[in-house]
Amino acid sequence: MLETFLTEYMPFSKGLSKNTVKTYKFTFRLLLNYLYEMKGIDADSIRFSHLDFDTINGYLLWLENERNCSVATRNIRHTALSAFAQYAQNRSIDAAMTFMNATKRVPVKTAAEAPRTTFTLEELKILFKLPDIGRETGLRDKVMLNFMYASGARAQEICDLTVRDIQFQDDITKVTLCGKGDKTRRINIATPAADLLKEYLNHRGILNDLGRHIFSSQTHEHMTASCIAVIYMVLSINEGAVSAPTIITG
C-alpha cells in the first residue's frame, strides 16, 4: 500500500511535485530505519498495528534528538505520515485505524520563526561587483544575482527558468515563475535588470531559443539549486564583508 501511495497516488492522482514525493519517500525510509534500529522490526514484517502512538511519537522524537532535525522538518515528516494514514484508512479502515489515530494524537509542534539573513544596500553593491565578468561563469553569476534580487525568485525557480518564461516588452518585462507544487505566478521586473538579462541572452545567442534554460552550469544545461547555493557561498567567502544569505530552494 505504501508503494502504491508513493508511486501512483501522490504523483498522478494528487499531482504533487517530484520534490514533494521525494520528501515523502525519505520520511518513510527514515521510519523503516527507526523501526529496524530501535524496535528490531525489519521492513518485510511491518504491519499497521506496529504504527501505534508510542511508535509514531517515538519516531518523531528520534528525528529531533538523534538526527538533530529541526521542528519544521519534524512537522514535514508528521504531515507525510498523516497523509499516508488517511490514504490507508480509506482503503482498509480496520487495519489502518491504529495508525490513523496515532498520527492524530501526536501534536504538530510550533516552530520558532528564525529571522532571514538579508543584505544591506552596501552589501548588495559589493555582491554585484564580486563576479568576474571577464569569465563566462562570472558573467552568468552577475546576471543571475541581479535577476534574483529583482524578481525575488527561489533558487529552484531560477534553475527551471527558460527563455519562454520571459516576455520582453517596450515598457515592461514579465516573468513566469513555476514554484512549489508546480504553481505558476507572473511578476514584473525592473527595467535595469530586464536590460541586463536581455543582453545576456543575446550574448549567449539564445534570445529566440524558447526552450533553453537561461542559467546553466558548466556541465549541465539545467542548473541545480545546490549549484546556486555554492555560487553564493563562494562569493561570500571570497568577500568577507558579505554574509551569506539563506537560499530559498523549494
Q: 104-148, pLDDT tens digit by residue?
A: 999 999 877 777 777 788 888 888 999 999 999 999 999 999 999
Enclosing domain of residue 18: 2-105
Q: Is 159 exposed, middle or buried, given 0-12, 13-18 or 19+ CB atoms closer than 10 A?
A: buried
If you search the block for the grid coordinates 505566478, which residue do you land on? Answer: 185
Q: Are residues 190 and 101 in the same domain?
A: no
* H or E segment to which residue 66 belongs: none
Residue 140, pLDDT score: 96
Give alpha helix (H) positions in 13-153. Answer: 18-39, 53-65, 71-91, 93-105, 121-129, 136-151
* H or E segment to which residue 143 belongs: helix 136-151
Residues 85, 73, 29: CA angle, nearest 5 degrees: 55
On whether residue 187 sits in a domain, the answer given is yes
Q: Are residues 64 and 138 in the same domain?
A: no
For the whole model, what pTM was predicted? 0.65
Q: Are residues 46 and 137 in the same domain?
A: no
**Domain closes at, from 105, 137, 171:** 105
On whether residue 200 sits in a domain, the answer given is yes
| 246: pLDDT strictly greater than 60 | no
Rounded Cα–Cα distance for residues 56 and 62 (Å): 10
Q: Are residues 221 and 172 in the same domain?
A: yes
DSSP class of residue 174 equals E
What percent of the chain has a predicted confidence (pLDDT) above 90?
75
Q: Are residues 134 and 43 in the same domain?
A: no
pLDDT in tens, 44-76: 999 999 999 999 999 999 999 999 999 999 999
Q: Are residues 144 and 184 in the same domain?
A: yes
Residue 120, pLDDT score: 86
Residue 240 — pLDDT band, cuts 50, 70, 90?
low
Residue 243, pLDDT score: 47
Q: Are residues 99 and 136 in the same domain?
A: no
Q: Are residues 191 and 156 in the same domain?
A: yes
| 236: pLDDT strictly greater than 70 | yes
Domain count of the chain? 2
